[in-house]
């Protein structure tokens, strides 16, 4: 192997070693920020009906839900909370033969 190739290889190995041994940048911890969002889609002509809403508070608690009109005519609604170590806690309901178009949101 030529001396130039050896030097290039040595520099490449040193670069890789330094890259691998460099400490990962630390992510800064920030307190939860309150937020809220909501959307609804309602198109009777195409039989599309779905939507979602969610809000989070400064303590990190999240409350939300979503709904969708299923192809079999049922309306599925999911309401959920996320708080502390509880993780995602859903409550799922189905409304048979739903006709949600025009109902209050």
Any domain includes 10: no
Say what the pLDDT of residue 86 is.
87
CA angle 35, 39, 42 (to 5 degrees): 170
Any domain includes 53: yes
Any domain includes 27: no
Question: Is the pLDDT confidence value at 98 over 80?
Answer: yes
Q: Which domain holds residue 60?
A: 35-95
Any domain includes 30: no
Q: Count up the domains in the chain and report the number.
A: 1
Contact 22, 33 (CB under 8 A): no
Average pLDDT score, the chain: 84
pTM listed for this prediction: 0.67
Any domain includes 42: yes
How do residues 42-88 score in pLDDT, each as one tens digit?
999 998 999 999 999 999 999 999 999 999 999 999 999 999 888 99
Any domain includes 77: yes
Greatest CA span in the chain, whole angstroms? 80
């Amino acid at each position: 192997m030529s001396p130039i190739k050896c030097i290039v290889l040595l520099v490449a190995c040193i670069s890789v070693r330094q890259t691998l041994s460099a400490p990962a940048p630390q992510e800064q911890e920030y307190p939860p920020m309150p937020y809220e969002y909501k959307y609804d889609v309602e198109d009777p002509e195409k039989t599309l009906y779905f939507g979602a809403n969610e809000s989070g508070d400064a303590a990190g608690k999240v409350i939300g839900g979503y709904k969708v009109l299923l192809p079999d005519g049922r309306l599925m609604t999911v309401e959920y909370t996320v708080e502390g170590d509880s993780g995602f806690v859903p409550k799922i309901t189905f409304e048979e033969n739903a006709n949600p178009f025009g109902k209050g949101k």
